Amino acid sequence: MSAAVARPFAALLLVATLLVAALPARAVTLLRDADIEHALAMVAAPVLRGAGLSPSQVEVVLVKDDSLNAFIVDPGTIYIHSGLVMKLETSSQLQAVIAHEAAHITNGHIVRRLGNMRNARTATALGMALAAAAGASTGSGDAAAAILLGSQASAMNNFMSHTRAEESAADISSIRTMVNAGLDPRGAVEVQELFRGQELLSAPRQDPYVRTHPLTRDRLRALQGLVAAAGARAVPDPETEYWFARARAKLAAFLRAPNWTLRRLERMPSKDIALMAEAVAQHRQSDLKRALRAIDGAIALRPSDPFLRDLKGQILLESRQAGPAVQVYAQARQLAPRNAQILGGLGRAQLAAGQYGAALGTLEEARDRDWRDGRVLRDLAVAYAKTGNTGMASEVTAQRYALQGRLHDAGIHANRALGLLPRGSAPYRRAQDIADAAARAEKKR
Ligand SMILES: [Zn+2]
């Protein structure tokens, strides 16, 4: 990422600076997990292709939030709350949610709103866009929207909300997408039924999905008509079903009480998923022996699955077994050499094992492949500090705060980096962008 990339997004940056000035800092916490993101990508791929999008260009990323919502802030990412994934019962319901968001992308609904923005490609831009999304999610985005949208603001609920016209356009496109892709479109109606009646509730009692995607009785009726006309009763693809079940099982194993998971192992759809969920639950109860026995059982069933080894590496690392964790993460990397989160796990293990030089290389590679992973940025800053490069440590820390929408803290670290880095170098220019954005935001206060 060079400083030149930032220029086309100056419009967004200005908008986002205004938003941050108006909003209390509230970060969106992304839930990054190699396994779950791969599973979501497998569920999303046929939908994205059906919508004319490339699965390699649109990622589905989870937001750690119990409420129900799905949204876009740029055309390259569909954000879905973990609460919504936990609530959905079938892969075709999740595909319907993705098809609907994909339709907002292909219909240009978000791009239009954000002016010339094509992608939130800097940490500052993305961090502030996500902060705006968080404001919308809590229903506190109105003040920001008023600044952002000027006279149009009164016609819109808040910054992230779609209009009713956009909703019906997205519904029509999404059903067409599902049918073209040979997928069951009934999930779209089932998803809407989750929210039925909520339009009558006061804003704080609604799920944010209802505010960002206004539901009316007319809309539901139109959607039912579209689905009935489509008539398709496609049988879900077993591979899609498998990955949907795996994503939900892993999410639940990490988010619910370990006992809840352990009581449901018998009901899991496959033996490897049950063993994976058991490993997570035992690990969260600090039972390393049982956790390893379970994850090794899962690996024996799927020996070339990189994500099970990624989980084993995590279990070892979090149990202070840094050396063995490095070995297992290295196996995972061999199976998935380009996966940024597996690289991040390997780098984290190398850092814990005191292999600072190796960690630095691995974590820079991870950042190169995914600059939005806050945990990689945190570890990378430690690796730079351990190897005596405080200028780079400050630059990376500034990026991490910017990504969280914490522009004030980002500015402090960016200015520190500017005093230490070679003038005009690429990291110097990245720090300069953040320092400038932070200074503009301070002025608006
Ligand atoms: Zn919508």
- Are residues 8 and 48 both part of a single domain? yes
Residue 427: band (very low, low, confident or very high) from pLDDT cuts 50, 70, 90: very high
- Are residues 208 and 96 both part of a single domain? yes
Separation of CA 93 and ligand 1 centre (Å): 14
Separation of CA 171 and ligand 1 centre (Å): 8
Separation of CA 95 and ligand 1 centre (Å): 14
Separation of CA 167 and ligand 1 centre (Å): 5
Tens of pLDDT, residues 282-318: 999 999 999 999 999 999 999 999 999 999 999 999 9
Domain boundary among 271, 303, 335: 303
Separation of CA 222 and ligand 1 centre (Å): 14
Residue 208 has pLDDT above 80, yes or no: no
Separation of CA 31 and ligand 1 centre (Å): 22
> Residue 159 phi/psi, 5° resolution?
-50, -45
Name the token pair of 80: 């879905």
330 or 208: which leads in pLDDT: 330
Q: What is the pLDDT of residue 291?
A: 98
Answer whether 2's CB lies under 8 Å from 429's CB. yes
Separation of CA 411 and ligand 1 centre (Å): 35
Separation of CA 163 and ligand 1 centre (Å): 8
Cα-Cα-Cα-Cα torsion 195, 199, 203, 204, nearest 10 degrees, comes to -40
CA-to-CA separations, 353 to 310, 375, 383, 396, in angstroms, rounded: 17, 17, 12, 21
- Are residues 133 and 82 both part of a single domain? yes
102 is a domain residue: yes
Range of the domain at 269: 256-303
292 is a domain residue: yes
372 is a domain residue: no
Domain boundary among 276, 303, 330: 303
Residue 129 has pLDDT above 90, yes or no: no
Residue 143 has pLDDT above 80, yes or no: no
Separation of CA 6 and ligand 1 centre (Å): 28
Q: What is the pLDDT of residue 80?
A: 94
192 is a domain residue: yes
Separation of CA 103 and ligand 1 centre (Å): 8
Amino acid at 129: A
Separation of CA 220 and ligand 1 centre (Å): 12
The number of distinct structural domains making up the chain is 2
Residue 154 has pLDDT above 60, yes or no: no
Residue 242 has pLDDT above 90, yes or no: yes
Separation of CA 224 and ligand 1 centre (Å): 16
